[in-house]
Chain A
């Protein structure tokens, strides 16, 4: 990648928004043909495509900010693991449906509180993308939260799996609410938001759902972070290998 993310924090900010969405979209796409019912498969594919659509708009803007040397596709399919700045949460694999829906709840709640703030970004492009994404996020949150409530407050088996998912993924959610210099610069310029400012809202939304689902909120304060700096868990490499395979094996291939 030829971008200088150290100096161009606006570009870095747009890229991390896009990376979160692309990686989450790819994770959800893995569930297609594996969902418990055809209807749920369609619902998950819908969310995945919504995420991909917003990611595409953001990568397009990032490409422009970077001088157009790298296209949106290049950014998605030709960057390496260390160049992706998505949060660790979205790259986490799932064992079962509960993992998918709890991961989705944490991620959707983040967008539920983030996009309305970005609608008033001083950057018109980001504001326009946020306005579209905010509507989608409200539905995504409704979908994942209603599932988490059903799983948590469902059978003994569904509850056990939902609690296992919450316990396993909780440590990765905190990274969404932590800021670094890119967030601070973007916020100072009126372009972005400092995540800590949204932490209370995020916790309110998520805890209300977990409470209704009769699930226990973990007390472990440990937060696994590093994704924003390109330091990922071992799972991202596998995901990229699958997602980027075509462009790596057949460079420039189109269909």
Chain B
């Protein structure tokens, strides 16, 4: 709860107009769980700039020790593939592209 404090003379009091104000831009958040692992996308945050985006990401996504490093990227800069059938379906009948399709000679040992 807040308490009314008398305004000083000449001060203008901000009045809620009910109009929507501009939202902060959206940032995509990538967290590295520990050294040696890749940064992995975990979600997004709103923030006015990169520094506050990192702070917000820290408070939103690492407060239970989930990470040792955070990247943020403006969401607007991410270009996504379309989800059409032509994009990925052609690979579904080509199992031989998996390395497991081939017999590995014993001499090779551990790959």
Q: Which residues of A does B touch, CB under 8 Å?
A: 30, 34, 37-40, 42-43, 46, 93-96, 142-143, 146, 150, 157, 164, 168, 235, 238, 242
B6: shortest Cβ distance to chain A, in Å?
10
Q: Give the docked Cα–Cα distance between A96 and B7 (Å).
A: 12
Q: List 22 A-B contacts (CB under 8 A).
A: A30-B1, A30-B2, A37-B23, A37-B46, A39-B47, A42-B56, A43-B56, A46-B59, A46-B63, A93-B2, A93-B3, A93-B5, A95-B5, A96-B14, A142-B55, A143-B55, A146-B51, A150-B52, A157-B14, A164-B8, A238-B1, A242-B1
The list of the 8 closest CB pairs from A to B, nearest first, reads A39-B56, A93-B3, A43-B59, A42-B59, A39-B45, A46-B59, A37-B46, A39-B46
Determine chain B's interface SS by DSSP, over half rule.
loop
Q: Which residues of B does A touch, CB under 8 Å?
A: 1-3, 5, 8, 11, 14, 23-24, 45-49, 51-52, 55-56, 59-60, 63
Contact assessment for A39 and B2 in the assembled complex, using a CB-CB cutoff below 8 Å: no
Q: Give the docked Cα–Cα distance between A93 and B52 (Å).
A: 25
B7: shortest Cβ distance to chain A, in Å?
9
Taking CB atoms, residues of chain B closer than 8 Å to A96 are 14
Contact assessment for A39 and B60 in the assembled complex, using a CB-CB cutoff below 8 Å: yes
B15: shortest Cβ distance to chain A, in Å?
12
A38 to chain B: closest residue by CB: B46
A47 to chain B: closest residue by CB: B59
A147: shortest Cβ distance to chain B, in Å?
8
Given contacts A37-B24, A39-B45, A46-B63, contact A94 B2 (CB under 8 A): yes
Contact assessment for B3 and A238 in the assembled complex, using a CB-CB cutoff below 8 Å: yes
Taking CB atoms, residues of chain A closer than 8 Å to B47 are 39
Contact assessment for A150 and B60 in the assembled complex, using a CB-CB cutoff below 8 Å: no
Taking CB atoms, residues of chain A closer than 8 Å to B14 are 96, 157
Taking CB atoms, residues of chain A closer than 8 Å to B23 are 37
Q: Give the docked Cα–Cα distance between A168 and B2 (Å).
A: 16
Q: Give the docked Cα–Cα distance between A142 and B54 (Å).
A: 12
Taking CB atoms, residues of chain B closer than 8 Å to A39 are 45-47, 56, 59-60
Given contacts A30-B2, A93-B2, A93-B3, contact A146 B55 (CB under 8 A): yes
Contact assessment for A95 and B2 in the assembled complex, using a CB-CB cutoff below 8 Å: yes
